[in-house]
Amino acid sequence: MPNLEGARTPRFLYGTAWKEDRTAALTELALRMGFRGIDTANQRRHYFEAGVGEALAKASGENLVTRENLFLQTKFTYLPGQDHRLPYDPAADLPTQVAQSMASSLEHLGTDYVDSFVLHGPSSGYGWTDADAQVWTAMLKERDAGRTRMLGVSNVSLRHLHQMTGLHAETPAFVQNRCFARFGWDREVRRFCSERDIRYQGFSLLTANPEVLRHAFVASLAARENVTPAQVIFRFALAVGVLPLTGTSDPTHMKQDLASESLKLSDKEVQAIESLVG
């Protein structure tokens, strides 16, 4: 079983999607603000992984961070999720593509290991396929070779997870999903994860849930604690065991997101938010 609660699994992840030529500057800013967990992907269409590496080099050059106190997560993305800027040979078989993607990520990030390597999404929305099984087996090899400490899967349904864990002896350390409040904040997948010591990472906590952000109950808690509704949502996520992602470009929001951890919500309030809209 991987060590999920090790000192290097942070409480918050800074997401680096959609930042293009601002990726290096924003990742560096996030590190200066105190983030120690970075989420990226070797998918040039949405992420500029080499820009993340540039920020890491600058921050470690200035002794702001060491590799040991950073948590770096990247992803393998299938061909249909990529544009023409591929991190692997599209004609190669899937295990080779996984190995090439990982080698390229390590080069981009200037490191010889990542902390978490995630399958960006299964090949089909309907279930765990033979292709996914091949990719997962190749990812296990990367882990066994020491190029990643842990493995994860993203954009998965309960069905994917049941099929995957039925087929493979090794379960993921992480599941990373979009977290919709109207589905009980992905209640079923979160339950599946908590029963198996899988750490659930939630993204789009704000953008997927505008009805919660403007809900009167959340507004009243925010007013009482003198914080923003976004901070209430992040505090709620932490309280129910979600490892939240934020991709904010705003230094004030970076500070607020990290500070949300110290906000006080009662168990009853957390339960109320959990079933506020679904």
Question: Could you say which of 37, 51, 87, 247 contacts ligand NAP (CB under 6 A)?
Answer: 247
The answer to whether the Cα torsion of 157, 160, 166, 168 is positive or negative is negative
**Does 155 help bind ligand NAP (rule: CB under 6 A)?**
yes
Among candidates 183, 186, 105, which has minimal Cα distance to 147? Answer: 105
Which residue's Cβ lies closest to ligand NAP? 15
Q: What's the CA gap between 205 and 223, in Å, rounded?
A: 20
SS3 call for 29: helix
262 lies in the site for ligand NAP, by CB under 6 A: no
Which residue among 245, 258, 265, 276 contacts ligand NAP (CB under 6 A)? Answer: 245
Interface of this chain with ligand NAP, residues 132 to 151, rule: CB under 6 A: none
Residue 259 or 272: which CB sits closer to ligand NAP?
A: 259
Distance CA 88, CA 109 (A): 16
230 interacts with ligand NAP by CB under 6 A: yes
Listed in sequence order, the residues at least 6 apart from 20 whose beta carbon sits closer than 8 Å to its beta carbon are: 48
Stretch that binds ligand NAP, among 128-136, 192-200, 251-259, 269-277 (CB under 6 A): 251-259
Q: Give the pair of three-digit tokens for residue 60.
A: 């470690």
Q: Which residues pair with 199 in a beta bridge?
A: 174
Using the rule CB under 6 A, is 154 a contact of ligand NAP? Answer: yes
**Closest of 37, 22, 126, 135 to residue 77, by C-alpha:** 135
Binding mask 89-128 for ligand NAP (x = CB under 6 A): -------------------------------x--------
| Positions in the binding site for ligand NAP (CB under 6 A) | 15-17, 39, 120, 154-155, 176, 203-207, 228, 230, 245-250, 253, 256-257
